[in-house]
Amino acid sequence: MKEEIRKKIRLYGMDCAEHLKQYGFSITPYRVKDCLDRKMIKKLSLIPDDTVFFCRSL
């Protein structure tokens, strides 16, 4: 991976939701496979067992 790209990437851990809450967001977690069908998961290159977050500004 090129260095200029590497500097722009932020890998999030299990504490991602907590970080978002600290910045004033309400968080609702969803499992990818519970929200999207297999065709859409493949199209978006998502991992079915991953968690995505719906965030709202408070």
3-state secondary structure 2-55: CHHHHCCCCCCCCCHHHHHHHCCEEEEEEEHHHHCCHHHHHHCCCCCCCEEEEE
Summarize pLDDT for 4-56 with one digit per residue, the tens. 655 666 677 778 888 889 989 999 999 999 999 999 999 999 999 999 889 99
What is the spatial distance between Cα 54 and Cα 14, in angstroms, rounded to a whole number? 15
Summarize pLDDT for 32-45 with one digit per residue, the tens. 999 999 999 999 99
Q: Quote the pLDDT of residue 14.
A: 76
Q: Quote the pLDDT of residue 25.
A: 93
Q: Quote the pLDDT of residue 30.
A: 93
How many folded domains does the chain comprise?
1
Element of type H or E holding 57: strand 51-57
